[in-house]
Amino acid sequence: MTQEEKNQIIDMTLSAIGRINHPRFFRSERGYQGELYCRLREEFLSQNLLDERMLEPEYQKRPTDHLTQQRPDIIYHIPAPAEGEVFINNYTVWALKLRADHPDVISDFEKLYEMISLLQYPLAVFLNIDSDSHYLHDCIPDYRNRIVAFTTMRNEAEGKLVICKAYYDRNDLQEEFYSVDW
């Protein structure tokens, strides 16, 4: 996966997050996940990125095939045939948490590390819903350049959605803030 392809997926993720503003989705991780999947699918279809490649929600990894029992919230990949190699054609994995605190985020980062190392996902996305804390600074250095973290919150007073995108550029933590009217 090229850096240009990673950037495209990150941009589509930001766009999808920016279109989710109904208060109901900020009360339920599962509800937000379903809406994010739908919005991501629209983005991927508009860019003709779903052919043999698939965007799938909460895919169950079988330990006998994948060496892990992780259940990522959303994945983008080419499914391996029954006897095929599961370590190739994996592109992006998304993990979502609702109002996650530090221990929750660290736990999800550890799950993402496993997906990156065992299944060779070149890009992992973490989203902390209804929070302004991404905790990316606590990510293990070996994985910093493969994980992008987002936060999203409703600002009721201003009628805006506030999004933070955090990532590492070499060893420097970068944060970009976006404000979207609803």
The pLDDT tens digits along the chain (182 residues) read 999 999 999 999 999 999 999 999 999 999 999 999 999 999 999 999 999 999 999 765 555 555 566 678 999 999 888 777 888 899 999 999 999 999 999 999 999 999 999 999 999 999 999 999 999 999 999 999 999 999 999 999 999 999 999 999 989 999 999 999 98
CATH of domain 3-181: 3.40.1350
- Asked whether 118 and 68 are in contact (CB, 8 A), the reply is yes
**Could you state, in order of their start, the residue ranges of all structural domains in the chain?**
3-181
Integer CA distances (angstroms), 87 to 67, 107, 111, 121, in order: 10, 23, 16, 8
